Structure 1
């Protein structure tokens, strides 16, 4: 193998191109089981982001189940989730275009179960998700979101649909009178139903409730609150095979697995400082599944890293599986079949089937095959977990990816540029999954740090609550502190630091660049905002129902706290901005409308500051079309290359010339 070629950081050639990233960016959305048969939903950028239900056939091949012309994706809560289920080979799924629920029997074509939009009502006004089938009564029971009354907030309910009827129905309402619902689950005997509910202004990771009621197939009776409340986040209610209700709760400060015994006595199955739950951005999330009445397979996060384990439900004994993955989600089980989504920093996200008795695994589908190519894999950067002090005297966390490229090395004494990445949410976390977008940067000689600022998940409720009323402050301070830490260690060049983020992460990036603290905003030479929030008041006024009161907790109640909103909105502080910014926006984004980005761009251009603005037709909140994914990645790199990397290289050249 030839010796690496010497070249400055940020100028390395790499086989991890934007086209490769886009072509290998299939997203694995959901995992489903029909008995021991494994299905999943995958999103394909090469098909304009179409979501397809796929089945693992007995011969080991993967077979598309839903035909061309249909996209298996629901818009309940806008983020969707759990858009399909399969029972005895028959599929019920939501189609993205019209949001109707369809039934697809073996060998047939999709037939609508729910009605088309009536005259005078918006298309896709009725949305369905998170369903389960009551086989004995031939009912689909799930969440419905009703947008039929224009100008009013959508109405969420739990409804039943008659699968035996040939007529299309909007569904019979079973449960109502809360702002949000999730996870309707029937007991094994079909006589009880459990569900999650919560109300404005809470988000599901702040305070939710588990309710249980009697069910006769037509109505629910005697609803009883079993757990949860304003200060307790409960997650994923499930009935064990012997009819015991289990759920995840953070009542101890950590999302632990609990069960409800006789007389509503709640037992923590396995008390530990670990997270068995996740922030419920999507519906149908699952971190555990039953193998029997006495055993479950569960995923959890401890110390920022994910594990999968066998859990004895009576003794609480936890036996981790020896697996090469660092992140686990969508855990499903039936008998001795376990399936889940998993990944690691240098392994692609995959749908994996596990034999819980032997620990043997089979990869059914990968998000891409690129990691299997030695010519690509040899350029991967492996992250280091770091801890760093924050200005508030606390500790925060991050994943640091140093530059890596087997074909290049930097000149002696040269330090790499740093891209600070702010994750979205902001109630989310820095992913430990292989992200080719990260490898795109590191293989070109740019270090990346993915910051788990205060408010991130995976570190307990107290860590999440650092962001209570502090969005735009704590996250900003922590991102700047992460950069300072790496400069102080001598790992990166403090003159070549960029900051970027998507959605809420875009807000944090812009808030850093417009910070009241000069030391924060001057730390960054440039920035990128991917459909990022720039006007907090506009977000509070214009965003969708699910997040319409989120800012009450993150910032302050609106409009009472309008002065705080103005103080922290980047668009209101554009006069402080001196660094160039690149903006990337979906034209059909309902969560962060284009008007927000355009207001920021106009303010920057009025000041004479370089502002790149790319508006992508046909994209919503997050880009799903391959060509747009590639375009945005290339454009951001060349933006920084022109304004940061090349000037730094030229300055070093002139310094060397002067020294000579």
Structure 2
């Protein structure tokens, strides 16, 4: 017997959680080469650019280089590839650098000479120069975004288009046309965007644009050129479906209740790629379940290619087929090549083999349950002991986790943070509350004007569903979330009495303060999520501390520009003044999300220790030290 639920000895330690935060992003194919970004939590959270060819991978950007854009603060599209060089945005100065990827060794050299106030993202190569989104910061006004063309020999930057609040996805056709996406306040890119086409031949007027698709309530994503035609995804029909623009106009490829794209939180996401004059390989998501399909653009047919992964990202072309970043529920994510002729998969890059047995991994159970707005979704991870024996005289504690965004989603990908809990005897419910992506626009817009209500109601409904089935202990239910999920966490604690403890990672407590303090990209997000100033006041947990009567631990990055530290600190001070047990951990050098391995280790150990002390759980291995105010007289369940 492993012992009481929540206190089991476990081989999943904080070191494994930190190493599991090493990941892949922005996979790009060119000829017989692949390129990707790889995060290095053991190098102070640095990112590096990797080149792979014929089974050999090589790092192109040694320390201190750090390919990472700060446009919109979230970045993305931090590099592009030309004939013999890769161009990347360096995080420290936001300038663009070049490195020869075929050379045995080549030190990156600087291309642009911009000031620290100038940033670039969504880089694309047009055959002679770099196209990019530029963001210029001014201390006296809102940042200005535009589309630019960068001469790689001189570093000169030429504005191609301006006038919209935001730009994305500059995609050259190769024959003198340029597609791009733009949108304006108060929209986010998943609310409403516009797809434009402009001629870029010598003498053409770059301001003479043609609107192809989109509008205030239609989100267009990822334009791609395919044999002279423009392929893109739009949710005009309620789901991000593929459409084609050619000389005859715009037509839908395959109208169906499935998503072929996602929210543009980051630049450069690739959900599909052309593989011939009439075919694309695409990630398809139906009711939150992903697969890979081959789409015939002319016939409007989608043929299954692969369905064995829990997520597909960075879909790109290779000579034999496609490559993508594959997620799995029982092993770490990796880069995989799929040969189209044989449907065989080959690993291109994968993290070191975990030092724990796969037998300890809890594979999630998809959960559908009734809530106030209809069915809602979650992944349920049940406790998984090393010896296979579980107590039969008690139910496990439950940790409800809430994803960020909130217009985002959670997947069934292996998370060692989740396994840290399940291997110690906790159940974990990872909720795709109303407002999540992957279920169509109607599900996504359940949260429109109802943030802090629908998301909280769905988390509560999930708990009541599991308690009603006798699967968890109602006296030991905690909730955690980061960023927008941190707000849902605090709102659930302030507006309900279902949860007994919470963990807010750089979460929001004061919506009005956030609307004033946050960056340009999200500065009007709350207009649609919440509403006017009165609604923001009413929906802010800081204004309802009198109803928040359970312990909370706060984690915060000192350099966070998205959710500033004052959000956590104001909530911490208010709870401490009430006599509620509260802890606060501030991490210097961290922004919106923790990248350094030592800080990832500290957060998981401190969070578990906090919950264990609140719930009276005494694991054999002891607990990490956490300073908790007002813990002395607090009763345990």
TM interval, short-chain normalised: over 0.9
Partner of 2:174: 188
1:391 equivalent in structure 2: 372
Is 1:19 the equivalent of 2:19?
no
Aligned counterparts, 1:295-444, within 5 A: 295-370=279-354, 375-392=356-373, 394-407=374-387, 409-444=389-424
Correspondence 1:250 to 2:232: no
Q: Residue 123 of structure 2 is aligned with which of 111, 123, 131?
A: 131
- Identify which range, 323-332 or 626-635, moves more after superposition: 323-332
The alpha carbon displacement at 1:24 in A equals 2.8
| Equivalent position of 1:44 in the other structure | 40
Contact 1:16 1:376 in 2 (8 A): no
Residue 448 (str. 1) matches residue 428 (str. 2): yes
Q: C-alpha offsets along residues 220-255 of structure 1, whole Å, 9 cap, x if unaligned?
A: 252011100001111001110x21011001111011
Specify the alignment match of 1:199 in structure 2: 184
1:234 aligned to 2:243? no
SS at match of 1:196: strand
Give CA-to-partner distance per residue, 1:358-392, whole Å, 9 cap, x none: 1112212224521xx5x431100011111111134
Q: Tell me the residue number matched to 2:29.
A: 33
Cα contact 2:234–2:240 (8 A) shared by 1: yes
Q: In the alignment, is the contact (CA less than 8 A) between 1:25 and 1:367 conserved in 2?
A: no
| 2:634 corresponds to | none
Instruction: Point out the more displaced range, 472-481 or 315-324.
Output: 315-324
**Is the contact between residue 7 and residue 408 of structure 1 (CA under 8 Å) also seen in structure 2?**
no
SS in 2 for 1:153: strand
Pairing 1:209–2:204 present: no
Preserved CA contact (<8 Å) 2:25 2:38: yes
SS of equivalent to 2:451: coil
Structure 1 segments unaligned to the other structure (5+ residues):
118-123, 516-520, 650-660
Q: Is the 8 A contact 1:34 1:89 kept in 2?
A: no
State which of 542, 562, 565 in structure 2 corresponds to 1:571.
542
Match of 1:271 among 255, 261, 266: 255
Structure-2 change in CA distance of 1:340 and 1:648 (3 Å): closer
Which of 509, 522, 525 is matched with 2:497 structurally? 522
Q: Does 1:282 align with 2:266?
A: yes
1:486-635 matches, cutoff 5 A: 486-515=466-495, 521-556=496-531, 561-635=532-606
Distance 1:572 1:75 in 2: 32
Is residue 76 from structure 1 mapped to residue 71 from structure 2 by the alignment? Answer: yes
Q: Match of 1:347, SS?
A: coil
Q: Is the 8 A contact 1:24 1:368 kept in 2?
A: no
Aligned to 2:143, which of 137, 147, 154?
154
Q: Judge conservation of contact 1:291–1:336 (CA < 8 Å) in 2.
A: no
In structure 2, distance between residues paired with 1:388 and 1:643:
29
1:311 shift after superposition: 1.4
Distance 1:22 1:531, change over 3 A: same
The residue that corresponds to 1:518 in the other structure is: none
* Partner residue, 2:53: 57
Paired residue for 1:10? 6
Secondary structure, in 3 states, of the residue corresponding to 1:252?
coil
- Report the Cα offset of residue 645 of structure 1: 4.2
Deviation at 1:423, TM superposition (A): 0.7
Residue 263 of structure 1 and its aligned partner are, at CA, apart by 3.8
What pairs up with 1:468-483 in 2 under 5 angstroms?
A: 468-483=448-463
Q: Distance in 2 between matches of 1:343 and 1:30?
A: 14
Partner of 1:655: none
Equivalent residue, structure 2, for 1:103: 98
1:178 paired to 2:167: no
1:496/1:645 contact within 8 Å kept: no
CA RMSD of aligned residues (A): 1.6
CA distance in 1, matches of 2:601, 2:573: 25
Query: 1-side partners of 2:483 and 2:521: how far apart?
Result: 15
Aligned-partner Cα distance in 1 for 2:569–2:182: 36
Is contact 1:310–1:356 with CA below 8 Å preserved after alignment? no
Question: Is the 1:500–1:509 Cα contact (8 Å) retained in structure 2?
Answer: yes
Contact 2:282 2:315 in 1 (8 A): yes
Q: Deviations over 1:107-155 (max 9, x none)?
A: 43222111142xxxxxx311111121122xx2111111111x2121111
The answer for the alignment partner of 2:632 in structure 1 is none
Q: Distance in 1 between matches of 2:618 and 2:541?
A: 27
Deviation (angstroms), 1:164: 3.0
CA–CA separation in structure 2 for the residues paired with 1:311 and 1:79? 31
Match of 1:658 in 2: none
Gap runs ≥5 in structure 2: 621-637
CA contact (8 A) 2:2 2:9 kept: no
* Offset, 1:408: 5.3
2:214 and 2:85 map into 1 onto residues whose CA distance is 35
How many equivalent pairs are there? 616
Structure 2: distance between partners of 1:276 and 1:418: 33
| Residue pair 2:324, 2:335 contacting (<8 A) in 1 also | yes
Who is 1:656 aligned against? none
In 2, distance between residues paired with 1:217 and 1:366?
45
Measured after TM superposition, the shift of residue 407 of structure 1 is 2.1
Q: Secondary structure at the match of 2:191?
A: coil
> Is this contact kept in 1: 2:7–2:618, CA < 8 A?
no
Q: 1:488 to 1:648 in 2, by over 3 A?
A: farther
CA distance in 1, matches of 2:260, 2:444: 15
**Whole-Å Cα distance in 2 between the matches of residues 57 and 247 of structure 1?**
29
Aligned-partner Cα distance in 2 for 1:209–1:436:
39
Q: Distance in 2 between matches of 1:221 and 1:523?
A: 55
Shift of 1:303: 2.0
For the residues of structure 2 that align with 1:217 and 1:163, how far apart are their CA atoms? Answer: 18
